Amino acid sequence: MNLKLSSSPHIRGKDNTRRIMLDVIIALMPTLIVGTFVFTIRVLIITILSVGAAVLGEFAFSKITKRSNRIGDLSAVVTGLLLALTLPATVPYYIPVIGALFAVIVVKGIGGGIGQNTFNPALGARAFLLLFFPVWLVRYTEPFGRLPLGNIPAEDIITTATPLHHMQMPALPDITLLDMFIGRTPGCVGEVSAIAILIGGAYLVWRKVITLRIPLAYLGSVAIVSLVFSKGDSPLMWMAYSLLSGGLMLGAVFMATDYSSSPVEKNAQLVYGALCGVLTVAFRYFGIFPEGVTYAILIMNAASVLLDRIFIRRIYGKSGSKEVSQK
């Protein structure tokens, strides 16, 4: 009789990392489908390249650093997918490849690997691309326009002002709220359709992969700040456009909720989300780019551990939680 000895508990729940990542991938499908519909098959090619580079990059990094190979947990697929969705459809095909490699090797791998990286890999890579290839990351085309399958020379792209460009003026965009809600608007491939993102978000909440805390705090704070500091004739309209434009929805649902780079304490999550919102509006109002979601979330990523320490819960049987020094 060969009996196994091990520490309790002897039974485990069904959840596993792979299943969670698969859920995120499933949740991103509506966004990917709408993105492809709006911005042609180029979107699929960009996505495949980004995902492929992320998986291969992670595999290579694990081999080189002699860490265990974890591509089976699908987290690299999620990173590749998220990065692709933050790019305009007009980018040359080397952009997603470079970005995905940077995401999995520098931000995630050197950052400590899954669960340990301080910054969201996809957003870290996007910030990197924005610095090195600014031309390519701000060229937006009309929805449902024709795009060639091959690389497009920069001068051939007829760039269009996104709703956020209008709002930077400041002026309300000439696109209807309904169009922005369903995705009939210029922008990055994964950010145009609020409804697709919300469907994915609802799926993640239903599957208990994420809670509503961070997305609601984020969107709520953008709503309040843009309402109070409205630049439009109608503060309510200004608020509605602020919520539906740019990468806010994608950021609030899929980026700010990233496990590794966000706080774990409930109250810390609320504050984190709220501050993401404040920073986003601040970047939009005062920054050189019309959008600020990427940098807002990255800055808050750096603050998550600190927020967790500040908002640590009172534990059972202690009147006030003891002060905890920083990591």
Q: How many Å is the Cα radius of gyration of the chain? A: 20
Residue 15 within binding range of other proteins, rule CB under 8 A: yes
Output 116 or 151, the one with its CB closest to other proteins: 116
Q: Which two tokens stand for residue 245?
A: 């434009």
Residue 3 within binding range of other proteins, rule CB under 8 A: yes
Residue 320 within binding range of other proteins, rule CB under 8 A: no
Question: Least distance (Å) from other proteins to the CB of residue 15?
Answer: 4
Q: Which two tokens stand for residue 198?
A: 């919300």
Residue 9 within binding range of other proteins, rule CB under 8 A: yes
Ramachandran angles phi, psi of 48, nearest 5°: -60, -45
Residue 317 within binding range of other proteins, rule CB under 8 A: yes
Q: Which stretch binds other proteins (CB under 8 A): 11-19, 171-179, 186-194, 230-238?
A: 11-19
The pattern of x and - marking residues 238 through 267 that bind other proteins according to CB under 8 A reads ---------------------xx---xxx-
Alpha helices in 65-118 (DSSP H): 75-85, 94-101
Question: Least distance (Å) from other proteins to the CB of residue 250?
Answer: 20
85, 32 Cβ separation under 8 angstroms: yes
Residue 16 within binding range of other proteins, rule CB under 8 A: yes
Alpha helices in the chain (DSSP H): 17-39, 42-64, 75-85, 94-101, 121-132, 134-137, 163-168, 177-182, 194-206, 213-228, 235-244, 248-250, 266-286, 293-310
Question: Least distance (Å) from other proteins to the CB of residue 93?
Answer: 30
Residue 146 within binding range of other proteins, rule CB under 8 A: no
Place of tokens 């969107």: 219
Output 54 or 281, the one with its CB closest to other proteins: 54
Query: From CA 191, how far away is CA 169, in angstroms rounded?
Result: 21
Query: From CA 229, how far away is CA 222, in angstroms rounded?
Result: 10
Residue 312 within binding range of other proteins, rule CB under 8 A: yes
Q: Which of 94, 110, 115, 171 binds other proteins (CB under 8 A)?
A: 115
Question: Least distance (Å) from other proteins to the CB of residue 322?
Answer: 6
**Which is nearest to 40 in space by CA: 135, 137, 133, 141?**
141
Output 107 or 196, the one with its CB closest to other proteins: 107
Binding site for other proteins (CB under 8 A): 1, 3-13, 15-17, 19-20, 68, 70, 73, 75, 113-116, 259-260, 264-266, 308, 312-318, 322-325, 327
